[in-house]
Structure 1
Amino acid sequence: MSTTSVRRKATHAASDEAAVTKATKATTEDGDAQATPQTGAPNPYALASLVGGRRINWGDVPDGPAVLEEIFDQPYTDLIGSADSPIFYGTTFEGGKPSRRRPEPAPVTEGNDNDVTDERDPDVSGAKTLADLVAALGTERLADIPVRGATLTRDGVLAELGRSGNGASPFARLFDERIIDILFPFEPGYHPPGFSWQDTGRFYNEATEFFDPVQGQVGDCYFISAMSSVAWAMPFTIADRTRATGTVQDAFTHQVSFFDGSWRSVEVSDRVLVASGGSTSYYAHSAEAGEIWPAVYEKAYAKWRFGTNDDFPKIPDLAWGDPVAACRSLTGGNSYYNWHSGMTDAQLLSLVKSHSAGGRTTTPIIAWTHGAGSDEAKRAALDAGIVASHAYSVLGWMRRYEWVPRWHLDLEIPRLIPKWTPPGPGPVIAGAAAAVDDLARLRIDLPDEFFRRYELRAVDYVIARNPWGSTPGTGSSTASGDYRAYDVSWWRDVQLGVNGVFAMEVSAFRRYFAGTGGAA
């Protein structure tokens, strides 16, 4: 550890604790602190670029999760569902509540600051017994070593063992002192190594769109998803208000207002954080090239929340927060929280529909997931690719008509009616477009056994978006194709599986997400 880190350690401990305390003080309007979710899963794709020291063009990567597994040396489902995950490095979960603190950098060998002691790769080659293995892994108890997989063979059991959370973190070498200084800043005025504040584009190209905000390496999913929900449901809310600060053309600031019982405005410049030699932020940025409004709003939100007077707020300290409170801060609406454990599928669907028109939300809605490391979070990650301790935008709902089994609803069958042209004249039947007369024509040509086993039923979906701008929900409970919604004055088709957008059956959505709320 450098002398600088030692000198600054005490200073940061106090400021970091204050940030966490402020993040956990949010309450509902009736003062019920139990009903405030805390989410803070950063974007692992941005984090991987930071750890790798170069920007990875993920659009050219055929299998992103596989690359993440290689970079972070952890199975993908553990990466997004486990509390012992590099995306939650520096965060501990006590009683299910997150607590974020600057971790110690990995130790270095005397005389060579670049020679990092490899805490991740203990020598297990000489282990002959389980006791030897425990000693080599530096674990006090055999019960602390997780088993990732086991196979019964002729000669015994072939097991893949993980690393326990005891002792030094297995991710300590990935996060060297430079990266820790970026993610866990000390002094006021944020100037992380390898980054600079630059004006890299226009506030927006033509308008604020729901797919514009993309989360970066900071764990402020609650705010990024809130921006997306507001841009979708209340498109006139996010606007560019500027004033000149000098006679030259680029001398101006943006005024951004946030609500917390009353409206308060802050002013920020166009300068956003970009890596040296780059033009796109590792922090919040827009899916559209040359557009910076999500980054400007993220900077303004940090300045408002921390009371910073300069133009360089400590954006990483935004990690962990309440997504419903973020919606309220952008709109001034009344916040509401609904935990799925006390709701039925019908009640959840009714909630989304009550804040929607034409299948599209008309007030911003957010859904939050189960806490990292919980059994529910692990199941959601494994079954549906849902990220733990994360916030998602809710865009609306849709209904499709699908063939489902009459008796065994747990059987897997094709979810949608396949494209099929009946013999002779007649329309092509695709998806939910089958009308009654088309169904009658189908009955003529499909075997009777099919109709004894399956029936055409209405299936309702909730439409959501991951603020990472990628990694939509997956699995048998999700739908493909397009989602159609009435966007104020016109019908919009949104492709599912793109930009992080997905449709999930209401029953699955209720199980895999912990709650839904918003600001109305």
Structure 2
Amino acid sequence: MPNLILTSLLSPISSINHPHPKASGQCLPALLPIILGSCAIIFNTFLSALGIWPSPTIPFNNLSKAPMLHYLTMTVTKPEQPDTPPKNLHVGAINPFALVEAVLGRKLDWNSASTSRIIATILQTDYDELFDMSFNSILYAGLKLDDREEAAEPIDSKDVHTLTERDLLTPDFSRIKKLSDLGYMGLKDLGAIRVKHAVMTNGNLRMTLEPPRSLGKTLSNSEMTALVRDLATPFRAESQASGEKKGWTPPNGIWTDISSLYRQDATKFNNPVQGAIGNSWLIAALMSVAWSDPSSITHCNQTPAAASSTSKKDKNSEGSCTLSIKLYSKGGHLDAPTQTITVNAQVPLNTSSEMVMYARSSDEGEIWPCLYEKAFAKWISSSAKSCSEHPDLTVLSHGDPVKAMAQLTNKNPEYFLTSSRREQDLLGLVRSHCVNLRTIYPLVAYTHPTFCNNKFRGATLVGNMAYSVLGWAAPQERKQYIILRHPWGVCEPDGLTSYSGLVTKIDTKFWPPVELLDGKSGVFAIETGAFREAFSGMGVAK
């Protein structure tokens, strides 16, 4: 790069004929714009090498013909201007791994491909139809697509129905011998039934049909069993809700002090992992804040003597560990007046497995994600006034990840929509908030609720989901990627689904800052083109 600039500077000088020594002084004003423009390019190249500013594409052979201001404009471009904040964002999808664990009361292997079959069975939905809002999946309980299918909006509580065991009974199709026999089962208009799959094998045509829901009901965004409803949504019977004024407890759960799990010798980032409610907006915000500024995260206040006397199984303990954080009002949905919230270390554990049911850390030696989630729920709910230590965590379903970062840091939220920007603009936006390939401001991104042409069909890229933006990468200076972190703390095992432009195996050669994360981080890279297609917007708190 310096050689190119030097050549461009010297070429016009060598082509000038000077009749006498004084004539050379007359050329200096003409060369001044070239010299200043070249200095600006060198400075920009230096910033680009540090990862602070995107690399420009400058036509060096035209330096002698263009005015200085032209090059200064190309080199030091104006920062991206934020868009008007959306009125209300309802971002979030329930973590299916955590939800199924809470229902079964047993631990699953989140990294095993066979777990997908367990999830599909328990949630009564084909695995590839769980992660896109167009399929009305149970992971979006309480949400629906708006009329334009561009955003998620809440379902009215009166439209949420509880399924009984009788509703879930499956009709007996063993006597069906001909297609016409389906009419006796209630399938009158066969021509209108959607064919999901059709394949010819060994001369046999095998088809999967999608019958009307009246024939066989399953879990959906508006119809669910009482267990799933009470575990993952705020929709509960009035009689049950009235009894929660003094505290809330999820089904199959018990509030238990986990102070003894806290360990102060962690050397890597302990990443928050989403639990059995749809609050990826909060988990992604927590991760982005912790990643960009670890000192901004408050850890629990615990004395060594109290820690040694507290047992994980001491369910009646008041808690030897407390957390006090200040949360800031930013207006709108899921907000409250600015105040300091203090919570103890009691969180819901499953009565069978004794596992944490909601937010947890990727490292069992850290508990701050659990306590931040509890404090946030206590802040925005009526429990904050009654000082209950058992706030209803399900009120955190679906929110605004950009505003959440501002509520945690008291910074200004800025929103950037992908539809009005080019791929290079989105990459430049990320790079302008990075140093050494890593974000220094909290940055999040959230996906569209549905794909128009290619539906969200796997657990890595999920519709209506918030992700933490950790930085950018350009391995071997070829393709450029945006580095994201999944709030579920896991990427889908190889072989289930595939998306072009995704890299789920990240090492230090690909992106050096990954060394700071533990091995269960859920970090992946996405090309800028695929990012623009899948994601609806980005946001930063600064």
**Fold equivalence (TM over 0.5):** yes
8 Å Cα contact 1:345-1:510 kept in structure 2: yes
Once the two structures are overlaid, the 10-residue window that deviates more, 42-51 or 209-218, is: 209-218
Matched, 1:270 2:317: no
Q: Residue 353 of structure 1 is aligned with which of 410, 431, 442?
A: 431
- SS where residue 349 of structure 2 aligns? strand
Matched, 1:98 2:98: no
User: Normalized against structure 2, the TM-score is what?
Assistant: 0.68
User: Normalized against structure 1, the TM-score is what?
Assistant: 0.71
Once the two structures are overlaid, the 10-residue window that deviates more, 302-311 or 80-89, is: 80-89
Distance 2:262 2:338 in 1: 22
- The alpha-carbon deviation at position 47 of structure 1 amounts to 1.2
Q: Residue 200 of structure 1 is aligned with which of 215, 234, 258?
A: 258
In structure 2, the residue matched to 1:296 is 371
Q: Residue 239 of structure 1 is aligned with which of 298, 306, 318?
A: 298
Point out where structure 2 has 5 or more consecutive residues left out of the alignment.
1-81, 311-318, 331-336
- The alpha-carbon deviation at position 43 of structure 1 amounts to 0.6
Distance 1:190 1:151 in 2: 50
In 2 relative to 1, CA 354–390 (structure 1 residues): closer, same or farther, beyond 3 Å?
A: same
- SS where residue 474 of structure 2 aligns? strand
Once the two structures are overlaid, the 10-residue window that deviates more, 80-89 or 157-166, is: 157-166
In 2 relative to 1, CA 162–494 (structure 1 residues): closer, same or farther, beyond 3 Å?
A: farther
Q: Residue 213 of structure 1 is aligned with which of 272, 280, 285?
A: 272
- The alpha-carbon deviation at position 264 of structure 1 amounts to 1.6
In structure 2, the residue matched to 1:482 is 507
Distance 2:326 2:510 in 1: 29
Letter in 2 for 1:315: L
- The alpha-carbon deviation at position 278 of structure 1 amounts to 3.8
In 2 relative to 1, CA 99–481 (structure 1 residues): closer, same or farther, beyond 3 Å?
A: closer
Distance 2:267 2:466 in 1: 20
RMSD over aligned CA atoms reads 3.6
Letter in 2 for 1:379: K
Distance 1:168 1:89 in 2: 19
1:193-216 per-residue CA deviation (whole Å, 9 max, x = no partner) reads 321111123455346965520111
Q: Residue 387 of structure 1 is aligned with which of 462, 467, 473?
A: 462
Letter in 2 for 1:458: R
1:81-118 per-residue CA deviation (whole Å, 9 max, x = no partner) reads 243222223433342433244843333xxxxxxxx225
8 Å Cα contact 2:144-2:153 kept in structure 1: yes
- SS where residue 294 of structure 2 aligns? coil
Please state which structure has a larger fraction of its residues in strand: 1
8 Å Cα contact 2:449-2:463 kept in structure 1: yes
In 2 relative to 1, CA 389–499 (structure 1 residues): closer, same or farther, beyond 3 Å?
A: same
- The alpha-carbon deviation at position 385 of structure 1 amounts to 4.2
8 Å Cα contact 2:343-2:375 kept in structure 1: yes
- SS where residue 524 of structure 2 aligns? strand
In structure 2, the residue matched to 1:375 is 452
Q: Residue 127 of structure 2 is aligned with which of 50, 56, 76?
A: 76
Distance 1:140 1:263 in 2: 59
Distance 1:180 1:296 in 2: 23
Letter in 2 for 1:351: L
In structure 1, the residue matched to 2:391 is 313
Letter in 1 for 2:291: W
In structure 1, the residue matched to 2:281 is 222
In 2 relative to 1, CA 210–494 (structure 1 residues): closer, same or farther, beyond 3 Å?
A: closer
- The alpha-carbon deviation at position 352 of structure 1 amounts to 0.4
Letter in 2 for 1:254: L
In 2 relative to 1, CA 209–330 (structure 1 residues): closer, same or farther, beyond 3 Å?
A: farther
Matched, 1:177 2:236: no
**Aligned residue pairs, count:** 419
- SS where residue 289 of structure 1 aligns? coil
1:359-394 per-residue CA deviation (whole Å, 9 max, x = no partner) reads 10111111111114x526x53436x94111111111
- The alpha-carbon deviation at position 74 of structure 1 amounts to 2.9
Letter in 2 for 1:255: S
Letter in 1 for 2:457: A
- The alpha-carbon deviation at position 496 of structure 1 amounts to 11
- SS where residue 296 of structure 2 aligns? coil
Q: Residue 207 of structure 2 is aligned with which of 136, 153, 159?
A: 159
Larger radius of gyration: 2
8 Å Cα contact 1:483-1:495 kept in structure 2: no
8 Å Cα contact 1:253-1:270 kept in structure 2: yes
Residues 325-344 of structure 1: pairs in structure 2 closer than 5 A: 325-344=403-422
Letter in 1 for 2:340: S
In structure 1, the residue matched to 2:533 is 511
In structure 2, the residue matched to 1:438 is none
1:257-295 per-residue CA deviation (whole Å, 9 max, x = no partner) reads 111147421111110110114443110011111422111
- The alpha-carbon deviation at position 495 of structure 1 amounts to 7.7
- The alpha-carbon deviation at position 32 of structure 1 amounts to 4.6
Distance 1:31 1:385 in 2: 29
In structure 2, the residue matched to 1:259 is 328
Distance 1:210 1:288 in 2: 9
Residues 19-58 of structure 1: pairs in structure 2 closer than 5 A: 32-34=85-87, 36-51=88-103, 53-58=104-109
Letter in 2 for 1:394: V
Point out where structure 1 has 5 or more consecutive residues left out of the alignment.
1-28, 108-115, 401-431, 433-456
8 Å Cα contact 2:288-2:470 kept in structure 1: yes
In structure 1, the residue matched to 2:27 is none
8 Å Cα contact 1:328-1:334 kept in structure 2: yes
8 Å Cα contact 1:398-1:461 kept in structure 2: yes
- The alpha-carbon deviation at position 351 of structure 1 amounts to 0.6
In 2 relative to 1, CA 243–292 (structure 1 residues): closer, same or farther, beyond 3 Å?
A: closer
